[in-house]
Amino acid sequence: MTQSFYSLSWTDVFASMVLVLFSIGLLRWWKIGLEKTLIIGTLRTFVQLSAMGYILTYFFGQRHWLFMVGLVSLMILVASYEGYRRQKTALHIPHYFIIITGVLTLTVILVLGSVLTFILHVQPWYYPYAMIPIAGMIIGNALNTTSLTVNRFVGELEHREAEIDMLLSLGAPPRAAIHDAIRESVKAALLPTVNSMMMVGLVQLPGVMTGQILSGIDPLIAVRYQIMIMYMWVTASTMTNILVLALVYRQFFTPRQQLRCDLLRRS
């Protein structure tokens, strides 16, 4: 099974670059002006993924649980920082960095934990071949959707300021006053993931699965993994989104249940 159907050597990989050369030719011909960026992208894909391969090989050689936990923690911290930086408005949300770090940690513990123990029955649980890629997938996806949700949420608050004031003035608790804003932002962030669950397998195979099948894995096995990954994915995104907003919205209210306008508009 580990024997590749079509063994892909480094020379073959270089050969696949010819495909990109062809695109570059087309771009030049029509003077699109994207050639330089595409060349850089091509090189970066090569360098980053090759480096990742070597790094993974190194990590897969490690067999200590503390090392694995440290690595996953580092991944969470880097992702949180990236999420924090990427936020147009986040710098104004108090405790934002702590919120995403905390929520990502919790999501990883719960989702990764249950996948490793109850679903894949990995022995030992810190076996790097399972832990690293799954953790990466959970963290990366959760981070992407969370950035979307929080940006959208702040936009909704700005847009709905009058409505929120109206609801508060009628005696609504903050949570009820921003409920629609939360609903809209979570929906908007999760919709692409949920839609991809609707479409998966109909037209296009997920990239990971294509790679697996090409390297000789039985499609039925590849499919099972993909199904599990999709479920894991949507759960991790839902969890992070809702938990992050549940903590973020509180930052927009004073203890007297007043909307903090000073956090809005400034963005």
Q: In 3D, which of 130, 117, 125 has the Cα closest to residue 59?
A: 130
The one-letter amino acid code at 79 reads A
Give, for 224, the enclosing helix (H) or strand (E): helix 219-251
Comparison of 84 and 249: residue with beta carbon closer to other proteins: 249
Which residue carries 């850089």 as its tokens? 40
166 touches other proteins by CB under 8 A: yes
| Minimal distance, residue 156 CB to other proteins, in Å | 14
Comparison of 30 and 262: residue with beta carbon closer to other proteins: 262
Which residue carries 């809702």 as its tokens? 242
Q: Which of residues 243-262 bind other proteins (CB under 8 A)?
A: 254, 256-259, 262
Q: Which of residues 145-164 bind other proteins (CB under 8 A)?
A: 162-163
What character string, x for contact with other proteins (CB under 8 A) and - otherwise, covers 102-141?
----------------------------------------
Distance CA 214, CA 6 (A): 7
9 touches other proteins by CB under 8 A: no
How many residues touch other proteins (CB under 8 A)? 19
187 touches other proteins by CB under 8 A: no
172 touches other proteins by CB under 8 A: yes
DSSP state of 261: G
Joined tokens for residue 44: 């970066």
91 touches other proteins by CB under 8 A: no
184 touches other proteins by CB under 8 A: no
Joined tokens for residue 121: 């029955």
171 touches other proteins by CB under 8 A: yes
- Alpha helix locations (H) across 117-200? 128-159, 161-169, 174-177, 179-199
Distance CA 80, CA 222 (A): 31
Residues of the shown chain interacting with other proteins in the complex, contacts defined by CB under 8 A: 162-163, 165-173, 176, 180, 254, 256-259, 262
